[in-house]
Amino acid sequence: MAWIDAILRETMLFAAIGFLIGGLDDLAVDFTYLLRSLRRRWRGARPPLLDAFPVAGCTGRIAVLVPAWDESAVIGAMLRATLARFDHPDWRLYVGVYPNDRATIDAVAAAATGEPRLRIVVNPRAGPTTKADCLNALWQAVAADGRREGRAFTAVVLHDAEDVVHPGELRVYDHLLRDADTVQLPVLPLVDPGSRWVSGHYLDEFAEANCALT
């Protein structure tokens, strides 16, 4: 039994080191946030309002990518809301679907009727694959359109099929990307009163991993 006890001690040592590294990583993020907050307060700076990013000052061309597999229940409403809300003057919505997902294709096609800002991109492979694979197909379509039209897109925005977008989101990206390579806006998860267990866990994950501004 002595060798089992030795293996247990060594394993616990490696696990403790892993937890320590993970904790230091989280602590570094917290320390950076605290330092930036104190610096802004010392300088009297305040977070910018949406009015600081006017539509008239937008100069970029933005592609919004939405990968979709088996999303027929939500994708139609999401696309119609997105098309109605965004106030940026120059953008296009690319939705990635799969040839063996007829229900999602039909839902996207219904939302795309009479809407030139929405383009359906069918993945050459049957689904499901991965989100990265679907995004690659969407990126190839974006690049091809830019070359064919002689006007490259200056930014790419990623969204999921169930997202509820903010009207001023694209103009915030347009302005901030002049001084940054990447922009991530805070995500506000919506509570589902009829699914406390699932939605509650989902809210915790968002609070821990996704609500960040870089």
Q: How confident is the model at residue 211 (pLDDT cuts 50, 70, 90)?
A: very low
Q: What is the pTM of this model?
A: 0.78
In a domain, 2, yes or no: yes
Contact 157, 65 (CB under 8 A): yes
Interval 10-50: pLDDT, tens: 788 888 888 888 788 788 888 888 898 888 888 887 878 89
Contact 191, 174 (CB under 8 A): no
Interval 76-135: pLDDT, tens: 999 999 999 999 999 999 999 999 999 999 999 999 999 999 999 999 999 999 999 999
The secondary structure element, H or E, covering residue 102 is helix 102-112
Nearest to 122 by CA among 147, 145, 149, 140: 140
Interval 168-209: pLDDT, tens: 999 999 999 999 999 988 877 777 788 777 777 777 777 666
Please say whether the dihedral angle defined by the alpha carbons of residues 128, 131, 132 and 136, taken in this order, is positive or negative.
positive
In sequence order, what are the beta bridge partners of 121? 96
Tell me what pLDDT residue 104 has: 98
Q: Any idea what the CATH number is for the domain that residue 167 is in?
A: 3.90.550.10
Do 136 and 208 share a domain, yes or no?
no
CA distance 91 to 55: 12
Domain count of the fold of the chain: 3
Domain extent for 39: 1-46
Do 71 and 164 share a domain, yes or no?
yes
Tell me what pLDDT residue 213 has: 36
Question: Is pLDDT of 214 > 60?
Answer: no
Do 128 and 204 share a domain, yes or no?
no
Do 209 and 140 share a domain, yes or no?
no
In a domain, 52, yes or no: no
Task: Average the pLDDT over 150-163 and give the result.
Answer: 95
In a domain, 87, yes or no: yes
